[in-house]
Amino acid sequence: MENDKNGELYSKVVRAGKRTYFFDVKATKGNDLYITLTESKKTFNDNGSDNYQKHKIFLYKEDFEKFREGLEDVLAKIETLKNNPDSAIEQDSVDSFTSVSFEDL
C-alpha cells in the first residue's frame, strides 16, 4: 500500500457551517486500514486571534460494519421523524441506550 508520511491513503473534507469534518483512511505499519473522523471548529480567543478546536474518533476495521449500521439506523430515524414529527421515539431505543453502563464499554 502506498502511504504518505502520516500513513494517510485517502482524505475527504466536508465543510459544514462553522465546522469542518475530515474523513481520513489510514494504514498501520502492518497495512491494516482504519478511519479517523476529525471535527474542527474555528473559535476566537479573547484577544481576537483564532484557534481550532479538534475532536478525533478512531474507527478500526473490526467496527466498520457496526458503525455503518448505527449511522444508517440513526439517519433513517431522522428521516422518519422529519416526515412525521408527531411520532413518538421508540421506547426500546431509549431503554437500550439508558441501560448501557461504562463497564459494558
Model pLDDT for residues 58-101, shown as the tens digit of each residue: 999 999 999 999 999 999 999 999 888 776 555 455 555 556 66
Indicate whether 36 belongs to any domain. yes
Indicate whether 96 belongs to any domain. yes
Total domains in the fold of the chain: 1
Q: Whose grid coordinates read 416526515?
A: 83
Indicate whether 105 belongs to any domain. no
CATH code for position 72: 3.10.450.700
pLDDT score, position 86: 73
Write the single-letter amino acid at 8: E
- The four Cα atoms 93, 95, 96, 98 give a dihedral, to 10 degrees, of 120
Range of the domain at 14: 8-100
Please tell me the pTM assigned to this model. 0.69
Model pLDDT for residues 9-64, shown as the tens digit of each residue: 999 999 999 899 999 999 998 999 999 999 999 888 889 888 999 999 999 999 99
Indicate whether 3 belongs to any domain. no
Indicate whether 1 belongs to any domain. no
